[in-house]
Amino acid sequence: MTSAVIDAHLSEEHHGPAKGIRRWLYTTNHKDIGSMYLVFSLVMFLVGGSMALVIRSELFTPGLQFVDPAFFNQMTTMHALIMVFGAVMPAFVGLANWMVPLMIGAPDMALPRMNNWSFWILPVAFGMLGSTLFMDGGAPASGWTMYPPLVLQTGDAFPFLIFSVHLMGLSSIMGAINVIVTIINMRAPDMTLLKMPMFVWTWLITAYLLIAVMPVLAGAVTMLLTDQFFGTSFFLAAGGGDPVMFQHIFWFFGHPEVYIMILPAFGVVSEIIPTFSRKPLFGHDSMVYAASSIAFLSFIVWAHHMFTTGMPLTGQLFFMFATMLIAVPTGVKVFNWVGTMWRGAMTFETPMLFALAFVVLFTIGGFSGLMLAIAPADIQYHDSYFVVAHFHYVLVPGAVFGIMAGVYYWMPKWTGRMYDERLGQIHFWLSTIFVNLTFFPMHFVGLAGMPRRIPDYSTQFADFNSVASIGAIGYGVSQLLFVYIVVKCVRRQGETATDMVWDHPKGLEWTVPSPAPYHTFDTPPRVTEGATFH
């Protein structure tokens, strides 16, 4: 698209954003809502991170020093709930809100009012969840998996936990519906499905996963609620129920959920690596098929979380092999990222650094996942720190690095200013060093037998635990640098960004000015040959 066309757009009659708080309360603009999601997620990231620091401080040395075990359990539970539902998921919804319409040439999301709702439900949900910290009996302390019968011993916080999970689910489902309808119905005329950028593709698949599994979680926690207050016995053995059934229902949600948290990150790095390798994405279509296969397989592997509950041999074999099968499409993706870089004219700006670290460190998390998939070995690894190391590798240098890469990549387009490249690089190196310092030793203590979710441990684990705690504090503090970099950009300090921002990146989002005007693509753009990755 030529800049003359854009100028013609800008001269059309538009009312700008309203002033003050009402702009944010009543807004239906996808860019405003995207920004609110991202800010909310950053706040939750810092809150959940502080809780992680409480956990790591307690674990710095053996013995109980700062918190009592009950509060420790509240911290692990709240940390997980806040990071999963408050930080990672909303950050991806925020990126989708900002970028999906810009990438497919749509003027806004398809259902803008529902978009406003799906955001504003979140602060309410997390306000409710946070308030449980001050209740009789404290916050939920049974782990984010909410296994009965333990979770039924939660004090006054119990119904608040259930209703906040309901609200988070509602928000995600509404967000997912919006993303699907936008992608299916609002693409620019020449934007065929297979021309869509990978980020849009991975989000389309993620949105279907969300619609398929968030209601199942809502059903599971509703059963907990009726077991506690209305005399049902879904999970109570005395009344003919079975607590193990909760685990089946929960992980039927839970395993697709882990792909909900990683697929959009796959999409982000699939945008970034081609830009900084100055080559088209290698194997775009195979990436689409790989992401779809991962999504399908995620529905038939849930019981690998439950090998220790006792399962017939055939069941163990099935879930073991189905789980290992996921390594194949994931391998296709990693191969394609490396193939994209092969003989590319690579440069290493901050987004690219985060994307590269994502590929390497996520793969480490993938390999430890393969180890956990081995049913006989899992009996040893189960509920140990090895599991903690595994899922933090896929979630922190995986999902979180993916989000940060995306923020650095698109922030110049959002704010019109380049972030401070020098500080960005420092942030990257601090994060990468400290994240490995935090989570790598957990593999060792886990294999040596340290159980997860305990405030105290045997002295043989002391050295690795203090290393992990130092890493965690370092990682936490370096995120304040990230906040500073973002604030600086948002306050319009720093170099002015060009419309293209990077060296001839592909994609429609780079055809609009920087910062992106409040309204874009009021008339659909023409998707010219070479504008996307095809």
Partner 1 sequence: MKDNGSDNRKETLQLAGRLVLMACAMFGFGFLLVPLYDAFCEITGFGGRTNQAAAVIEERADASREIRIEFVTTVNEYAPFEFEAQLPGMTVHPGGMYEAIFMARNLADRDMIAQAVPSVAPAQAARYFKKLECFCFSQQEFGPGEEKDMPVRFIVDSELPDYIDTITLSYTFFDTARLSDNSSAARHGSKQ
Distance in Å, CB of 217 to partner 1, minimum: 8
Side chain identity at 113, as an amino acid letter?
R
Sign of the Cα torsion 410, 353, 403, 265 reads positive
For partner 1, the closer CB: 248 or 519: 248
Nearer to partner 1, 91 or 223 (CB): 223
Q: Is 186 in the site for partner 1 (CB under 8 A)?
A: yes
Residue 173 contacts partner 1 per CB under 8 A: yes
200-231 residues labelled b (16+ CB within 10 A) or e (exposed): bbbbbbbbbbbebbbebbbebbebbbebbeee
For position 12 contacting partner 1 by CB under 8 A, the verdict is no
Q: Rule CB under 8 A: is residue 470 a binding residue for partner 1?
A: no
Radius of gyration of the chain (CA): 23
Residue 106 in contact with partner 1, rule: CB under 8 A = yes
The closest alpha carbon to 235, from 152, 145, 310, 140, belongs to 152
Q: For partner 1, which residue of 111, 374, 454, 481 counts as binding (CB under 8 A)?
A: 111
Minimum Å distance from CB 211 to partner 1? 5
Tokens describing residue 423: 């500080």
> Rounded CA gap, 473 and 247, in Å?
33
Q: How far is the CB of 208 from partner 1 (least distance, A)?
A: 9
CA atoms in the 13 A half-sphere facing the CB of 281: 29
219 versus 339: smaller Cβ distance to partner 1: 219
How many binding residues for partner 1 (CB under 8 A)? 49
Alpha-helical segments (H) within 382-501: 385-394, 401-415, 421-447, 462-490
d(Cα 432, Cα 357) in Å, to the nearest integer? 7
Q: Which residue has the tokens 């950009």?
A: 489
Question: 199, 252, 386, 434: which one contacts partner 1 (CB under 8 A)?
Answer: 252
Query: For partner 1, which is the closer residue by CB, 115 or 436?
Result: 115
Q: Do the beta carbons of residue 129 and residue 158 sit within 8 Å?
A: no
- Rounded to a whole number of angstroms, the minimum distance from the CB of residue 199 to partner 1 is 19
Q: Is residue 216 a contact residue for partner 1 (CB under 8 A)?
A: yes
Using rule CB under 8 A, residue 376 touches partner 1: no
Which residues, 6+ apart, have CB-to-CB distance to 125 below 8 Å? 85, 164, 167, 168, 171
Considering only residues 4, 13, 20, 310, which one is a binding residue for partner 1 as defined by CB under 8 A? 310
**Among positions 16, 19, 20, 231, the unique one binding partner 1 when judged by CB under 8 A:** 231
For residue 184, state whether it binds partner 1 (rule: CB under 8 A).
yes
Please state, as a whole number, how many other Cβ atoms lie within 10 Å of the Cβ of residue 252.
20
Contact status: 230 vs partner 1 (CB under 8 A):
yes
Interacting residues of 387 by C-beta distance below 8 A, sequence separation 6+: 372, 381, 446, 452
- Decide if residue 181 touches partner 1 (CB under 8 A): yes
- Does the footprint of partner 1 cover residue 524 (CB under 8 A)? yes
State yes or no: residue 530 binds partner 1 (CB under 8 A).
no
Q: Binding of partner 1 at residue 237 (CB under 8 A)?
A: yes
Catalytic residues: 79, 108, 144, 171-172, 255, 257, 259, 270, 304-305, 330, 333, 452
Q: Which residues bind partner 1 (CB under 8 A)?
A: 106, 110-111, 114, 153, 173, 176-177, 180-181, 184-189, 211-220, 223, 228-231, 233-234, 236-240, 242, 244-245, 248-249, 252, 310-312, 315, 524
